[in-house]
Amino acid sequence: MKKIIGWSLLIYLVYVLAMFWYLFYGADTSIPSALKGTAADPATFLNAKELMLSEEYSKIRNLLFFVNLPYDWLLYFFILVLGFSMKFSTWSKAISKLSLVQTAIYLFYLSLLVEALSYPLKWISYTLSKNYQITTQAFSGWMKDLVIGFWVDYAIMFLIVSVLFMLIRKSGKRWWFYAWLCSVPFSLFLMFFQPVVIDPLYNDFYPLKDKELETKILALASKAEIPAEHVYEVNMSEKTNALNAYVTGIGSNSRIVLWDTTLERLNDEEILFIMAHEMGHYVMKHIYVGIAGYLLMTLIGLFIIHKLLTYIVNRWGRLFKIDKISDLSMLPLFLLLVSVLSFTASPVENAVSRHQERAADTYAMELTHEQDAAIRTFQELTKAGLSQVNPPYLVKLLRYGHPTMLERITYLETYDQEEQK
């Protein structure tokens, strides 16, 4: 046991040092010489201090991402091999004979432990963002969101875990397929109700206040032949200085959301370009394509997890203190495999997302023909979020669901030329 824990920690430490070297010294984030002096060159729209801060902040934030991911894996691994999961299961069974009550108690113990051990990295991330003036949220507000997030995640996980273990116990080797069948309506249910039930727990949403801007957006929506009654703004200024807009929900609950920071920092032409971009997602049905892709990946992932769980429990069940996969104590191993497989699939998911974002940029240009406003928009997004214009390759591969700012601005600058070819 000591050797296993020791080697795990050593491998993690070597990995962290390797990522530190790569992000701070090994990766080339400079602007290609051919693009220097163009609108994509951050030196043309950021001052010297902003350039320095954007590089510093991005490097540290990326390091935290790469440190946090395997840290979560280590947590689940140690919870298993040190016997915490088995103890939680034993305690829950001693309190009640009802399986639902046992699941609720076990999951509370597990969630509380994981949250406590994950808290330091979350606090470091919050403090970093606060120090670089990206986050404006007070510590009390941040803690409130953390507590809300804990209970929301707990409630969702309770439903998932209860159904999952019921299927494992009753369906034998086909549990993974039935679990996937259950995930289809559940995923659609969450996506439908998230904008009106979950999101308002964290922020206040309301119809766009600027009626003159609303008229312009409605005219743009009419031009795009899509409904626009679902345009909302959200009060993010009390939490962040960053800018954003997004599409969320499905069916009658689908909506386009603008952060109030975006409304404050950008002019009407720039906001209309963002609106046209989000309308592009709507018109091209990217949300539904994303749902279909997610469900396909879930089906494949559950099948792989089924095979891996059977193999691991049969071969290393004693090490992980798991007798059979129907035991509640198996849950950390299941979550570990889900996390690893999600990470493995992230390059493909990000590549698809970047393709959709490029298509939405193109749609926005075709709808607005505001090339200068589009370029200024991405420059302002870079400045507000202290983003790296040209991030390291691994960061782009594993973190970026959008093209880099270098790619987006360069594309917009050459858009007219590409249209003439």
* CA distance linking residue 84 with residue 71, whole number of Å: 17
Would the annotation count 286 as a binding residue? no
Residue 230's pLDDT band (cuts 50, 70, 90):
low
What is the distance, to the nearest Å, from the Cα of residue 407 to the centroid of all Cα atoms in its chain?
21
The H or E element spanning position 33 is none
Please state the rounded mean pLDDT for residues 350-363.
95
Residue 228, pLDDT score: 60
pLDDT of residue 153 exceeding 70, the answer is: yes
Residue 215's pLDDT band (cuts 50, 70, 90):
confident
Would the annotation count 357 as a binding residue? yes
pLDDT tens digits along 10-66: 999 999 999 999 999 999 999 999 999 999 999 999 999 999 999 999 999 999 999
The H or E element spanning position 248 is strand 245-248
From 278, 327, 370, 407, the catalytic residue: 278
Average pLDDT, the chain: 91
Radius of gyration of the chain (CA): 24
pLDDT of residue 221 exceeding 90, the answer is: no
Lowest mean pLDDT: which of 252-261, 277-286, 293-302, 332-341?
252-261
Residue 361 known to be catalytic: yes
Q: First vs last Cα of the chain: how many Å apart? A: 64
Please state the rounded mean pLDDT for residues 167-195.
90
pLDDT of residue 227 exceeding 70, the answer is: no
* Encoded amino acid at 258, one letter: L
The tokens for 27 are 């990766």
Q: For residue 278, which of 250, 244, 233, 246 has the smallest C-alpha distance?
A: 246
pLDDT tens digits along 64-93: 999 998 999 999 999 999 999 999 999 999
* CA distance linking residue 197 with residue 256, whole number of Å: 16
φ, ψ for residue 247, nearest 5 deg: -105, 135
**What three-state secondary structure class fits 255?**
strand
The answer to whether the beta carbons of residues 230 and 255 sit under 8 Å apart is yes
pTM summary value: 0.90
Lowest mean pLDDT: which of 134-138, 153-157, 209-213, 356-360?
209-213
Residue 278 known to be catalytic: yes
Is the Cα dihedral 360, 365, 367, 373 positive or negative? positive
Would the annotation count 277 as a binding residue? yes
pLDDT tens digits along 110-136: 999 999 999 999 999 999 999 999 999
Residue 23, pLDDT score: 95
pLDDT tens digits along 237-285: 999 999 888 877 777 777 778 899 999 999 999 999 998 998 898 889 8
Q: For residue 398, which of 73, 123, 68, 81 has the smallest C-alpha distance?
A: 68
Residue 420, pLDDT score: 47
The tokens for 284 are 């091209």
The percent of residues above 70 in pLDDT, for the chain, comes to 98
Q: Where are the domains of the chain?
A: 2-203+285-420
Kindly give, in sequence order, each residue whose CB lies less than 8 Å from that of residue 205, ignoring residues fewer than 6 positions away: 195, 199, 232, 233, 234, 257
From 41, 72, 270, 361, the catalytic residue: 361
The tokens for 410 are 């360069």
